[in-house]
Chains A and B, each alone.
Chain A
Amino acid sequence: MDEKFDCIIVGAGVAGLAAAMVLARSNMKFLLIERGEFAGSKNVSGGVLWGHDLAKLVPDYWEEKEAGWERFINHRRLTFMDEESTFSLDFKSSHFNEPPYSGVVVLRSKFDRWLADKVQDAIDASDYAMDSFIATNILVDQIIMKDDKAVGIKTGEDEFFADSVIIAEGVNNLLTRQVGLQTQYVPADHMLTGIKEIIRFDQKELEDRFQLNGLSGMSNEFVGWATDGVEGGGFLYTNRDTISLGLVLGIKDMREKNKSPHDVLNHFKSHPAIADIIRGGEIVEYTAHVVSSGDKRAMPKELYKDGVLLAGESANLLMNAGKAIQGMDYAMRSGILAAETIVKAKEKNDFTSATLSGYRKALDDSYVMKDINGFQDAVHLLHTPTMQHDVPNLICDFGRQFFTIKNEPTPKSKDMLRGAIKRHSSYWDLIKLGAKGAKAL
């Protein structure tokens, strides 16, 4: 293979596969390199893939019986937690029952592998059926730079050349640092560790327990006691016959508070409400992976340079503004936009940053950067101690009183609320929070 590719994509995660799909459909000659045994074998997410972009890549994906996704979300729950109680905002609606769904739960080892098969189908249908490849089991050591322009990749003794490189290597973005788009040392300030167990149930038992119907599913985020005082939150998503239960925990905060993520996971699971949910399940996998917080300060200084583009978590495109943890949809859209930029560059036969800057513009104009830019205040607010501790404690305290019936004269709700606020926060803090929250959301 001494011939030059139009593009080499590093990493067969959601971003890399989305890019590959667009390139295959645009009749481009490309190489997609994955270091794992198969696409998805190294990948971890919570995780829900939000939005409709999957339908752009795989139209009618929902009609496949053995598709790579687990369940569609029609039930959302946000739970505030103190030591003994949970108080949830719960929304379930048949409005979400129609494809393309608003969100689907995925397990990456299965989903990415399935999506890679779809990409292979697209390659087979293209003019370069014999010249474009998905290559697994290959670790990229280096991006080959010539006059500060990316011209290929080096793996062991082998070198592969291309007009362009899309780095979609994930959050541990060593190649991104190597080409100088991010500093070599990235501090822990805006990075979190995601930690998760896959817990299996009999499928019918799971469906009954969570009131699931067919392939409907639930997503549940947790704020408060779940994280044992560490910045972050918990999550629970229903798969076909398992649930994904886990936490994301601020790395800097764990360092400063002397906490182990696996201990905090046991702390979370020992909560009476969680213990009730998972009773009788069998743990079949334990996973962990770093994620970025969605704070823009964690992002690389630019997302392109001559011959190279960054997509997905290698560009730290992820956000949790309180409504949903989004990352895979950003990865998918950024992969699509990166590939579309490469297609345009090929038409002009110009792969310099002059053309590739169009990627940044397209991403800025898309919902990805509009949301990341627009909800920075919410990201910061969510990570304040008031939101992490005071508010969940206050809400649960109020809930306990509100739902307690003692056959005694019952105080008015506003008095209960006043008491709860006094015990856990102050009016002034809540006014500040409300004002900030109204602006942030």
Chain B
Amino acid sequence: MSMIEKSYSLRLRMLTRSAFLLLSIFLILSIGVWHYAREASNYSYDRLLNSASLSIMEGLHVYGKKVDLDLPYAAFEMMQLAAQDKVFYQVLGTQGELITGYVDMPLFEKLKGESHLKFYNAHYLSEDVRVVVRHKRLSEPAVSGWVTVVLAHTLIARQQMMNDILYRSFAVLLGIMVFVMIVLWVAINRALEPLSSISKTLVSHSVLSAEPIQSTPIQEVFPLVKAINDYQAQLLSNLASMKRFIADASHQIRTAQSSTQAQLDIASQSKNVDELPEYLSKIREEHVRLTRLTNQLLTHAMVVHRGDTKIIEEMNVEVIMKQLLTECVRDNAHRMIDFSYQCEQALPLVMGDPISLREAVRNLLENAVYYGPEQNQIEIFLQSNSRSLDIIIDDAGPGIPNELRDKAKARFQRLANDLNGSGLGLSIVASVAEAHGGAFFLEDSPLGGLRTRIHLTIGSALC
């Protein structure tokens, strides 16, 4: 088993995860907004810059052989929209000579081909500026060639506009996020509500009451409630069968005990010493029966417990069978019983619980001896193919009539009252076979008695 994970709040986890997701979305959107704000402010102020440079270009005149500039103030008026911004300009003649303006304006590399206009960012006089370069071809008879107007504008106004757009957008985005988080909080609480209501119901609900938990109209929660109710029903049914078992067992034990008690009482009342041996032998008989019953009950409990806990190991069925048969022969050497052992081929190793299997087969051998005639014949026969293994025990006893065979395998079903059977032996065998994923059969023996067959499947045992 892996270690149990540290406890955590589902609500908190869902909230932090959605907050994290929202934050990522916010970051991506912010980059977009920032980009848009920059583009927008550039676009509007570039248009101003463009018009200003155009009007400067309009102010260029040719006087004789010289190009001269009549600087239109309207151009600078346009640039005055932002009070703190500075404007720099430079006008170059056809030979590239300075006509007017700042000498060392950063000139973009020569404009190529047909383009007349170029915007770019630059650094000038320790300030970031946006520059526009504009070309115009003069074709007067005296002067012909390209003249250039360079106009630069500091970025304060642009920055302000950009920040303005950014702050507004951020405010809206944040508002949406907070709103979404609130909606999520409410939704998560609402979604988790059935969970806490079910646990509240469970706390006040007794497991042993036959009353199931009230069903819910919520489709998603319905399977949980159903699972809890099914579990409870299973528990109750197990409990009921356990109660039946205890009732049956105590009935059997008390019956044996009270007849022993009765014989003891009669014996102690009896004044005739000659009668004592008879009472004693009856007491002994009852006691033997009680001992056998106790042993069977404990074996039954052990087998069921081991079946439930699924104890498995590799077992060599041949070795187990030989040991059991040897014990059985040793204990019954004084009887006229013919034993035989037959195993046709080497048996594969089977996965299972050797202790339970041993108890099961021991029960079958004991039964064969106990219920059989004095001149009995008991044969163990092991048979296997690639998928299954059969442990067959034949006897020459009276057998069990066909119609009583199912009854014989049930718990506390004694077929004959006068015998010392506990009614548990065959049910122990059936439990063991079942725990091994196999089956237990009662059949006709070729020897004329009963054939008991434990059928084990190889490979799928106890899975």
Chain A complexes with chain B: no
